[in-house]
Structure 1
């Protein structure tokens, strides 16, 4: 499996049988040039996870890509928790993963997680929901208005993946500080892998 990080929560996952793009949002860049996609999966409707201005061009460049989201989105199929999406030769289970609380006064959108090929990769969106099964590679939320750094470390320990790729880091002036803490507190056998922006890495 090859993963490319386009910043923040946007990741391209190439399983060898499907190319899937997650959360092409406003704080990410470079995903506009991606072609050959089988699917575009959106975890929730916040702009940092879905840029409505750049989505049409992305879809035009990938006419065969299915679009899934857990909310009403033009041209998208509804991503319902518990559903299993068949994408090329890859299966993706939609995980019931509610958005974390930002503040009691702030309404929360519907959020889902996506579990690829029975745990080969897990993208939780803005949730710290543990999927309840083995995860090989985890997209690890690193910083957000709804979390402390210790929350990220605890989530990493609870999931216990083979490798974790920090995501949702664009809100930080210097994410390296968070990366050091996450690396230093990772359980034995868990490797935190910071992906260079826009470069693919086999994991």
Structure 2
């Protein structure tokens, strides 16, 4: 499986000629190009930095093969898509080409009591090969080999991120949702959370456009 890191929370996953794009949002400059090559788009929640509604709707119109999976709010925003838009929730499973997916979690992490928390789901692919949690530190009751770890945003907290990695014990951690951190901030987080820091697990920082084998 290949993973390509895009800006912020968006990644592309490729295996056996099947492409998935997770969370193409407004903070990802090349989101349209990524989605144009996808067989499916997976959306964790409705916030604009994870879900560019106009972009995904246009892609559904332009790409007859494209399927979209997301929360009920995401599905409602897109309409039926001729049966190609699927509302998912915790406990659901589905397949796209050679990928298998299970859905985990319920709610976005708390930002403030005055700000509503939308539904948020995480996607665990291929029996734990990679997990994208969206905007929540929800730990699925299943092994996770590669964790995509959010490290910046109004809801994140370094101590909670450390405990999350400790709880999941992944083999590999790749930093995502990092756009609100400067270069110094990203390196600081990787050091504090990483192999010689709080978790004992190396934190990989990938520049947008970088592709790695998982």
Please confirm whether the aligned pair reaches a TM-score higher than 0.5, indicating the same fold.
Answer: yes
Q: Residues 1-203 of structure 1: matches in 2 within 5 Å? A: 1-16=1-16, 18-34=18-34, 35-59=36-60, 62-70=63-71, 71=73, 72-74=76-78, 75=81, 76-174=85-183, 175-183=186-194, 184-185=196-197, 187-188=199-200, 190-203=201-214
Contact kept, 8 Å, 1:116 with 1:122, in 2: the verdict is: yes
Distance 1:63 1:137 in 2: 31
Q: Which has the higher helix share?
A: 2
Contact kept, 8 Å, 1:30 with 1:198, in 2: the verdict is: no
- Give 1:61 deviation, angstroms: 5.7
- Structure 1 residues 139 and 116: CA distance shift in structure 2, 3 A: same
Per mean C-alpha deviation after superposition, the further-off stretch among 113-122 and 12-21 is: 12-21
3-state SS of the aligned residue for 1:9? coil
Contact kept, 8 Å, 1:14 with 1:20, in 2: the verdict is: yes
3-state SS of the aligned residue for 1:176? helix
- Give 1:168 deviation, angstroms: 0.8
Number of residue-to-residue matches in the alignment: 202
Superposed CA RMSD: 1.8
- Structure 1 residues 14 and 28: CA distance shift in structure 2, 3 A: same
Contact kept, 8 Å, 1:99 with 1:126, in 2: the verdict is: yes
- Give 1:198 deviation, angstroms: 1.0
Distance 2:60 2:18 in 1: 16
Contact kept, 8 Å, 1:97 with 1:128, in 2: the verdict is: no
Distance 1:63 1:173 in 2: 39
Distance 1:171 1:62 in 2: 32
- Give 1:135 deviation, angstroms: 0.5
Q: Which blocks of at least 5 consecutive residues in structure 1 are unaligned?
A: none
- Structure 1 residue ranges (4+ consecutive) displaced by more than 3 angstroms after TM superposition: 56-63
